[in-house]
Amino acid sequence: MNEKQIALLTLQVEKLEQRNFDLAQWKTFTESLLAGIFGDTSYKIKQIQAINYDFSSWALRDTSGNADFMVAAKKTARSILEAAILELELGIVKMETKTDSSVDAVKQALENYLTMGQFRALSQLSENNNYEESKRKAKELLHNLKEEALIDILSEIMAKMKF
């Protein structure tokens, strides 16, 4: 699988040298690739998003300056992708997903507002392979909680998650 990911990122590096290069289009495609490989919260995506070149009035008046900004943007892009490729080649890829942080936010909120017994009972439901039974038991457990506790749990989850 890493070979395909490396090949895709290598193609993106090659696109940096194309004559009709479009930075905005390249960034969109690259961000999508990086999210699929490293997760949607990867720092690499933030680095790609930060790549820009100046369209200020001074840069537009001086066409050679515009080229310098583009060269700098391409160098930055190349170094980000080369680092990503190296990580894949060395096998040191760490997926960073919203799902992981979402699960952590839910788990922490439940730990904060449920008794230890309630939390254990809810945790054990995830081991049950029968979806309908797990759903029914979870509903029973949550139904017995006070409305204020439910509001607190949901508020904490929503405060920690970014939609």
- Domain spans of the chain? 2-90, 98-160
The structure tokens listed for 39 are 């997760």
Tell me what pLDDT residue 56 has.
Answer: 45
Q: Tell which wins on pLDDT, 9 or 100.
A: 9
Q: Residue 162's pLDDT is what?
A: 63
The closest alpha carbon to 88, from 25, 24, 51, 42, belongs to 42
pLDDT at 31: 93
Q: What tens digit of pLDDT does each residue of 76-135 get?
A: 999 999 999 999 888 887 655 555 567 778 888 888 888 888 888 888 887 778 888 888
The C-alpha R_g of the chain, in whole angstroms, comes to 23
Whole-angstrom distance, CA of residue 61 vs CA of residue 56: 9
pLDDT in the model for residue 54: 54
Cα distance between residue 87 and residue 5, in whole Å: 11
Would the pTM of this model clear 0.85, i.e. be above it? no
